[in-house]
Structure formats: C-alpha cells, structure tokens
C-alpha cells in the first residue's frame, strides 16, 4: 500500500486528513493536551452549517413588510405588537425585523451588540439541489463542481504557521466536511471521547479485543503502517486522558441535549485547553421543511430552539474568551417566500446568516433588503440575493483571522473590501 500525500485513519470515531506523517501529527496532538505549547490565545472562527436549507424568513422575520403575511397565511410569525402573550410573536430587533420566538435566548446577545444578522445573503448560483448548493458553499466556488478543496482548508494553506498546532482546524463531525478538505491538516472527530478505543479496562473480553486489534495493525508487513499503528494507539491512549465526559461548562451555561449542543460544548473545551485551535466546524441537520413546517410552534420552532440555546450556551461558557471568537452560521439556500400547499416551504434562494462574537458589531441587521413584492422576488418566488456569501467569508478571514492572501482562497472571485458589510470591529 502506497501512502503519498493523504492519510485516512478511521478508528473509534476519528477521521484524519492531511499531509506529513500521521504518528508525528497525533503525537503532537497528545503532547499539546499535556503541555499546551500553543498557549498563546488565537483568533478563532467557529463555522456552523445548518444542513437542509433553513427558512431564513421565519428565522429572522421581516414583520415590517405586509407581503410577508400575504405569502405565508398559515406559517408566518405574528408581528411583535400583534399578540399579547410572550413567545407568540416575533421578537422585535429594529422595528422591521424580528427573531422567531424560539430564538429568544439570542436576543440578549443582539442587545449586547455581540450578535449581528446578514439578511438576503447566500450563493449567486441558482441551483435548488441540496448536494450541489452545500458543495458550492463549502468550496466557495458557486457553479463549479470540480473544486478539490474547501475554503477553510485553502485559508489554512494560504496562511501557514511555522509549526502548526495539531488542533489548528477541527470538525466535530463524523466525516471531514468539504470546507476543510485539502492538503492542510485538519481533524474530524465526532466525539472527543472517540479519540481512543472504547474498551472497558475492567473487562477481560474487551482487553482481548483491543489487543487483537492492535496486533493486527502493529504486525502489518508494511513497516510504515506498522509503525503508524503502534504510535497511533499510543497517541489515542494519551488523548483519552483529557476526559471530555468530565467537562463542566462555566458561568452556569447549559448546552441543549442534541448534536449541536454536544459539538459546541466540545469546541469550548478545546478553546479553553489552549491547543492552538483556529478553525472549528460544526453542523446540524433537519431544516428541510417541505411539509408542516409550523410557525410559532412546530418543526422549525423546535429546531430553532436547540440552535439558539446551543449558541447562547457557547457564548456564556466561554465568557471573556469570546473576545477572540467569531461564530458564523450558514445554510445552503433559503426557502420559497410563499408557503406551499402542505404548509411548508420549498427550496429557495437567499437567506439569513448570523454572526456572533466579541469582535462583532452586533445589534444590527446588515445587508440590503430586496423586498418581497412580486417584482422583487427572485424568479418570482424567492428572496433575492443582495450579499454574496463569499464576501461574508472574506470579511471574517481578513478582519478577524488576519488572512493576508485571499486570491487563492476564493478562486475566480474578485474580492473588494468595499463590499464588506462592516459587521466586524
């Protein structure tokens, strides 16, 4: 077996992509957790992908536009003054836009000017395919299916470190997302506890299983694979000592019991461990609501509750560490402006992105609002695009992470600071 540029190792929930020798990479990871040689605080980006195309019009509600209510007679969110009970109408942001009531835990962050919204943002490509749209957003090359690497990996390539921290880029996902695929080293870990073989040390059968598994690889005929396997198991044992199951969030933060809450809690743990984290990726699915989407209550409301509470918990848990963190949310495209016959919404175009963090100039909804009148809709059915998602990505990379070269990160796209929305200080 010839191993040249890329290694793939999947064991106990660990996926590793990158260049260089795997054992050395994992050994540095284990060492980092014990010695923290990258203890200098870094600027950090946490990217969250809402897979399935979240309904931005019900997430950040344009209650100031009457067309919104005519387009959505059964699933619209009432305007703030249209109902008396708390949690039954939109939460006013600026007199025109409001948060879905399930996002109430984010309102204090908006008021504290740490949360901003960029509306009518997304991809200029008109595909309504989930697969293609996600791929275009993660490669940051809309309309191009041949792009090999992701935008976050290209950032890492274009801005190398003299001695890159092993946890510089990590995805809390079962597989490495397209955003992080490429030559620059990046980790995909579904669960920090999966960095070791999940065997019971008190169980003889469990120990026999582990021993057999190790022997199979360590005794491999290929000396490189044998050495890699031996050192990999040692590193996994060392990583097991971080005991993620014993982590206790700070400041009274309570993460919701769900995949996103778990992922963000583990990202917080890595940030506090000073292991050199610079880029983190998390994802949450379940946003494709063609049928019975619901309005104030229902499927979307339940998803938004988990989503908002996870973001709020991360902010509370990190406390003053949020001064170095920017959280960016994205989804492949929006939903149709008009509800369908099944009280749901179909695949649309532009959407809303959220930006949270200490450097964020929040308390504002950014982006030019195109309107929802018939002549304003894209292809007569969708919220029109006024902000290209690549301009949002670029503003964060340049103004927050300090990217120096951007041409290679966004091939074929001419960046201009004049198009930056100004949501970062």
- Burial of residue 376 (number of CB atoms within 10 Å: 0-12, 13-18, 19+): middle
Residue 265: pLDDT above 50? yes
Q: Where are the alpha helices (DSSP H) in 258-375?
A: 259-272, 299-318
Copy the structure tokens of residue 159: 């801005």
Residue 43: predicted pLDDT: 97
The 3-state secondary structure of 66-91, one letter per residue: HHHHHHCCCCCCCCHHHCCCCCCCCE
Burial class for 212, CB neighbours closer than 10 Å (0-12, 13-18, 19+): exposed
The pLDDT tens digits for 99-109 are: 999 999 999 99
For residue range 2-33, list pLDDT tens digits in order: 323 333 333 333 444 443 334 444 445 445 45
- b/e per residue, 310-336, with b = 16+ CB within 10 A? bbbbbbbbbeebbebbbbbbbbbbbbb
At 21-75, the pLDDT tens digits run 344 444 454 454 545 455 567 999 999 999 999 999 999 999 999 999 999 999 9
Distance in angstroms (rounded) separating the CA atoms of residues 208 and 211: 5
370 by Cβ neighbours in 10 Å (0-12 / 13-18 / 19+) ranks as middle
pLDDT of residue 221: 56
User: E strand or H helix at 17, and its extent?
Assistant: strand 14-17
Of 280, 360, 353, 355, the C-alpha closest to 323 is 360
Q: Which of 181-185, 284-288, 346-350, 419-423 has the lowest mean pLDDT?
A: 181-185
Contact criterion met (CB below 8 Å) for 115 and 361 = no
pLDDT of residue 243: 65
Tokens 């206790």 correspond to: 248
- The angle subtended at Cα 300 by Cα 268 and Cα 45, nearest 5°, is 25
What pLDDT score was predicted for residue 245? Answer: 74
pLDDT value of position 86: 77
Per-residue tokens: 179:
């955003």
Give SS3 for 396. Answer: helix
d(CA 120, CA 126): 14
- Look at residue 87 in the predicted model and tell me its pLDDT: 85
DSSP single-letter state for residue 400: T
234 pLDDT tier (thresholds 50, 70, 90): very low
Closest CA to 332 of 188, 127, 181, 175: 127
What are the structural domains of the chain? 9-419 (3.40.720.10)
């Amino acid at each position: 077996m010839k191993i040249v540029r890329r290694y793939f190792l999947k064991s106990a929930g660990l996926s590793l992509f990158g260049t260089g020798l795997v054992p050395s990479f994992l050994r540095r990871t284990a060492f980092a957790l014990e010695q923290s040689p990258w203890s200098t605080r870094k600027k950090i980006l946490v990217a969250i992908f809402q897979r399935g195309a979240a309904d931005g019009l019900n997430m950040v509600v344009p209650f100031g536009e009457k067309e919104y209510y005519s387009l959505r007679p059964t699933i619209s969110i009432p305007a703030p003054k249209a109902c008396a009970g708390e949690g039954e109408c939109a939460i006013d942001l600026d007199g025109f836009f409001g948060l879905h009531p399930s996002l109430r835990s984010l309102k204090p962050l908006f008021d504290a000017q740490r949360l901003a919204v960029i509306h009518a943002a997304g991809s200029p490509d008109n595909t309504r395919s989930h697969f293609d749209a996600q791929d275009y957003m993660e490669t940051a090359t809309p309309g191009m299916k041949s792009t090999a690497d992701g935008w976050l990996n290209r950032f890492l390539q274009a801005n190398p470190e003299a001695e890159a921290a092993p946890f510089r880029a990590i995805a809390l996902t079962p597989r490495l997302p397209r955003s992080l695929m490429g030559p620059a080293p990046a980790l995909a870990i579904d669960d920090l506890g999966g960095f070791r073989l999940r065997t019971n040390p008190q169980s003889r059968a469990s120990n026999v299983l582990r021993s057999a598994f190790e022997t199979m690889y360590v005794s491999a005929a290929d000396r490189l694979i044998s050495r890699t396997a031996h050192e990999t198991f040692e590193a996994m044992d060392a990583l097991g000592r971080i005991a993620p199951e014993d982590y206790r969030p700070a400041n009274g933060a309570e993460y919701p019991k769900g995949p996103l809450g778990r992922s963000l809690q583990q990202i917080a743990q890595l940030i506090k461990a000073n292991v050199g984290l610079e880029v983190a990726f998390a994802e949450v699915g379940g946003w494709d609501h063609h049928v019975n989407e619901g309005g104030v209550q229902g499927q979307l409301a339940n998803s938004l509750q988990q989503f908002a509470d996870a973001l709020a918990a991360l902010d509370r848990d990190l406390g003053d560490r949020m001064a170095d963190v920017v959280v960016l949310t994205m989804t492949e495209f929006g939903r149709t402006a008009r509800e369908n016959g099944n009280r749901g919404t179909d695949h649309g175009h532009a959407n809303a992105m959220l930006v949270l963090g200490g450097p964020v100039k929040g308390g504002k909804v950014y982006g030019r609002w195109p309107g929802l009148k018939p002549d304003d809709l894209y292809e007569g059915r969708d919220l029109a695009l006024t902000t290209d998602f690549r301009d949002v990505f670029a503003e964060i990379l340049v103004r927050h992470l300090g990217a120096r070269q951007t041409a290679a990160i966004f091939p074929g796209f001419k960046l201009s600071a004049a198009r930056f929305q100004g949501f970062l200080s």
